[in-house]
Amino acid sequence: MRQSAQKTGSLRMGWAEVLTTARMRAIEAAAMASGAVSGAELMERAGAAVAGAIRLRWPRPGRALVLCGPGNNGGDGYVVARHLAQAGWRLRVLGMDNTPGPDAALMKQRWAAIGAIAPLTLDQLRRKPADLCVDAIFGTGLTRAPKGEIAAILAHLGQDRATELVAVDCPSGLCLDSGGFLGRPREAATDELRARLTVAFDSPKPGHLLERGPDCCGELVIADIGLRRWREAAVAPMIGVAPSFDIPDSRRPAHGTAALDKARAGGGHKFTHGHALVLAGGFGHGGAARLAARAALRAGAGLVTLGPPRAALIEHSGPPDALMRRGVDDADALAALLADARISAVVLGPGCGVERAAALLDPLLAAERPCVLDADAVTALAARGPGGLHPACVLTPHQGEFARVFPDLAAKLAETSPHGPFYSRIDAAREAAARSGATLLLKGPDTVIAAPDGQLRIHSAFDVPWLATAGAGDVLSGIIAGLLARGLAPLDAAATGALLHAAAARRFGPGLIADDLPDMLPAVLRDLGA
Ligand SMILES: NC(=O)C1=CN([C@@H]2O[C@H](COP(=O)(O)OP(=O)(O)OC[C@H]3O[C@@H](n4cnc5c(N)ncnc54)[C@H](OP(=O)(O)O)[C@@H]3O)[C@@H](O)[C@H]2O)[C@@H](O)CC1
Ligand SMILES: [K+]
């Protein structure tokens, strides 16, 4: 009874289109309306895929308990039960005494021809132990928080850490559009459902990648159920990446790391790789900007200049020698420096001090140069309001900074509700990007990156908790600036930056300090073939 080791390590895994539940339903409906495939066939494929994933990970048949809910997720459960029984597993199936839709009704009938269905009650659940429990209670159709008997069942499953849990599409109760559990606080809880394996269909949904989703889904397997033809090309598809699911090459869109190829095509002169300027704070506060500058160099900017006030230049006399230094005392000095059009990206914020960041913001924005606004620059922005940024700005707040600039959106993000879907990090990032006119990267283990035109990337990296270390955000700013300097579009620079940042942390492993990150980048870039 062992699950295979989680897949980690390879950088080429995981970029895939992410579907909202509404879009998933639309694609399923289009497939069925075409007459090429029936709902029952899709359900057979879905259930077979779950059973196949179980048999791969638990090759010796044992005792399985399958919990079937009132809708099509329950229908999948009856199919899983049939396949496992055929493979020699001993099955107990608990189901509801309702009349589901025709496809689930058919699967229930097919199961009933070979096995019993006991009522889906807490009492039945507790009766006999099982090695494996298949949660097919709710999937994408969850509209409200579970109540009564089903809520009690889910709470029991959440507390029972002895039985391995396999979730069909998602752990029941999870809102697949946000990654929160409906009706529950947005934070982690001790009795939340924690699956060892989740098998989802066609594409990941936002809830698999955000908030509680990654921890509660466990290993995520995306099963192909033959819907590719109907996954119509969206104008601005959501793209997500996560280290714990693998996507075939054919499903990997040309985003993220592919953008590096474009940047590399520029040629060999140092100016063709761009010139990044990292503005630094006063004497004694230069560490954050030095981290960012080193990261910008390692990310491939041809030149990087560090710009502290002149009185603080002495603080930056150490390595790296590749770094240039230039005193930037005030707004006028910055405006004069930015008259040099070869400066192709700027970082403002890390270790800068809010007052200095506020003073430098005006000439920086006036120059309309690609820039990363982080840390103290985000705080400075909170005082003046987020409007008036331009599309080449990348704003990189963590949750607390986000709340300072967009308090109303942060408040909505913290809300819970008995009805779904929750207001999600996607909604918040999109609204903030549209309001500010900049690309917004909302930091976290579930980083969400939104462009003002609505394009969106999700970078989910719950496997590198050691990345939450002092200075890691400064390094991320530097990487993004390095990529902006090389000519990547803001959305690509931010998304690729998030990917490189997490990959560097993954390659280093626990014990990481922010200083280690930039120097991991060459190996990470080599792995990517960049
Ligand atoms: N469509 C397809 O072709 C395919 C779909 N597939 C599978 O179908 C799943 C989606 O199926 P689904 O839409 O039937 O929704 P599902 O998650 O089973 O739950 C809805 C049911 O629960 C009910 N309900 C909701 N909330 C409730 C609550 N709090 N407490 C109590 N009841 C509640 C709701 O009732 P209602 O809201 O209508 O009152 C309805 O009866 C998807 O995740 C995947 O597994 C695959 O087979 C591939 C092909
Ligand atoms: K489920």
Question: Which structure tokens are listed for 69?
Answer: 């809910």
- Helix or strand run (H / E) with residue 356: helix 354-366
pLDDT tens for each residue of 32-44 = 999 999 999 999 9
447 is in an annotated binding site: yes
Q: Is 142 in the pocket of ligand 1 (CB under 6 A)?
A: yes
pLDDT at 118 over 60: yes
Q: What is the pLDDT of residues 225-256, one digit of tens each?
A: 999 889 876 666 788 887 766 665 556 665 55
The two structure tokens encoding residue 394: 């990348």
Query: Rounded CA gap, 343 and 275, in Å?
Result: 5
Shortest-distance Cα residue to atom 13 of ligand 1 = 141
Q: Residue 138 CA: which ligand 1 atom is closest? A: 17
**Residues with Cβ–ion distance below 5 A, ligand 2:** 135, 167-168, 172
What integer is the mean pLDDT of 186-205? 94
Model pLDDT for residues 298-307, shown as the tens digit of each residue: 999 999 999 9
Q: Decide which of 530 and 265 is more confident.
A: 530
- 21 known ligand binder: no
The span from the CA of 431 to the CA of 56, in Å, is 42
How confident is the model over 149-175, as a mean pLDDT? 96
pTM over 0.80: yes
Query: Which helix (H) or strand (E) is 108 found in, with range?
Result: helix 102-112
**Which amino acid, residue 54?**
I
Tell whether residue 148 is among the known ligand binding residues: no
Question: Does a cis peptide bond (omega within 30 degrees of 0) precede residue 421?
Answer: yes
Ligand closest to CA 106: 1
- Percent residues over pLDDT 90 in the chain: 85
Pairing of strands 446-450, 439-442: antiparallel
Q: Label residue 257 by pLDDT band (50, 70, 90).
A: low
H/E stretch holding 441 reads strand 439-442
Strands (E), 114-237: 118-119, 132-136, 164-168, 197-201, 219-223
Query: What is the pLDDT, as a whole number, of residue 13?
Result: 45
Number of H helices, E strands in the chain: 19, 18
Does 145 carry a binding-site annotation? yes
* H or E segment and range at residue 266: none
Atom number in ligand 1 closest to CA 176: 43
What ipTM describes this predicted complex?
Answer: 0.98
Question: Max Cα separation, the chain?
Answer: 84
Q: Could you tell me if 201 and 19 are in contact, meaning their C-beta atoms sit under 8 angstroms apart?
A: no
Q: Could you give the domains of the chain?
A: 16-234 (3.40.50.10260), 258-527 (3.40.1190.20)
Q: Which residue has a Cα nearest atom 11 of ligand 1?
A: 72
Q: CB of 43 closer than 6 A to ligand 1?
A: yes
Predicted pLDDT of residue 269: 61
